[in-house]
Amino acid sequence: MSSTPGISAFVTGGNSLGIRGAGQGLKFAVTGGVGAEAEAAARTLINALSESPSFSIVRPDFSASKPQVSIDVDRETASLLGVDPDAVTLTINAMADEVLAGEVFEDDNSIEILLSGGGDPVDDPTDLANLFVRTGSGAFIPLSSVASIREEAVAEVLTREERRRAAPVTANMAPGVTLSEAAATLEETAKTVLPEGFATILLGEAKVLAQSENATLLVFAFAGVIVFLVLSAQFESFVSAVVIMATAPFGLAAAIYAINLTGGSINYFSQIGLVLLIGVMAKNGILIVEFANQLRDRGMSVRDAAEAAAMTRLRPVLMTGLSTLLGGLPLILGSGAGAESRSALGWVVVGGLGFATLFTLFLTPVAFSLLAGLSRARSDETAAAEIELADASRLQ
């Protein structure tokens, strides 16, 4: 179909979640300027993006196909001839359409009096040029003496984004190109081809993606702080919370490597997997640190408590890791509708948790050995409290 002159053919696909408006490519708008300047800048950007291998088809979502007759009054000439610009407007309205001349009332009913031109209708721009207007001296002159009349094509709808004139555009991405990669290519190209004062605004899925990326970083930051505070309150020690969370960056890095090696991307599903991964890693860390603290309370040294806790908690940590890994295999091996979404979640769980289990078993005891000495054992605090109570009772 594309080989036929005058035809622009493109294909769009659906999406696994059935989200309305999704799967339509990269949508954006060029903003800035006045009048048709935004449309002109958008066409320049469209030509540049069409040469990029990241896009297959780039098409404008605006069309200057609505005919319009524009009349520009030369106010200086009209003032010299004594022609009132309002009289020009009234004459054009009356001859081309009709104007409200007044109202009369009859039996409490309002009747409008409309003034319109007689004779042949005005259906051609040259008819407007042959209209006559009255000058200050009372003479009549043709409208073309004080105004210029031109025909032009304008957009049927004037689009605005963020209170600025905008020209919307849709770009279909080439196979293998993600939405985030296409948005990055758009940003780089726009910096080089758009004139000063013009910018691009993401629309549709691309806008939601950009907002979610910013929100995701904020959510993970708050989640990390909240988890740290909860663990600190649970163990009554900041050091224990730091030891438990020490393995989280390594597990997240392993999950991201798994995504890159399998050709995936950071999306909603992989983000869900990262949250799940943090929870499982924290749970495994709690198992080891809690038991190590109990052994310290019994009088064991920090190193011996770390080694004994790692050996004792080996079975439950492996059970948790293996059960979660086996539960993630169907997500990876599955096929059919929505398989890409499930695969993104599965690779984060399998790849990230596989390494995270090893990190928990080795790094958590090491971190406990290095950092636990900075805090006192709870048995030491209890003994110190008993000594202070005994001293207080003797003083009484």
Q: What's residue 4's pLDDT?
A: 80
pTM: 0.53
* Strand pairing report for 109-115 and 99-106: antiparallel
Please give the full DSSP string across 38-87, using - where no structure is assigned. Answer: HHHHHHHHHHHHHTSTTEEEEEES----EEEEEEEE-HHHHHHHT--HHH
Distance of CA 352 to the CA centre of its chain: 26
Q: What's residue 80's pLDDT?
A: 81
Please give the full DSSP string across 4-40, using - where no structure is assigned. Answer: STT---------TT--TTTTS-EEEEEE-SSTTHHHH
Q: What's residue 35's pLDDT?
A: 67
The ranges of the chain with pLDDT < 50 are 16-17, 19-21
Q: What's residue 358's pLDDT?
A: 77
Q: What's residue 20's pLDDT?
A: 46
Average pLDDT, the chain: 77
> What phi, psi does 247 have (nearest 5°)?
-85, -10
pLDDT tens sequence across 332-365: 787 777 677 777 778 887 877 777 777 777 888 8
Q: What's residue 175's pLDDT?
A: 79
Q: What's residue 322's pLDDT?
A: 83
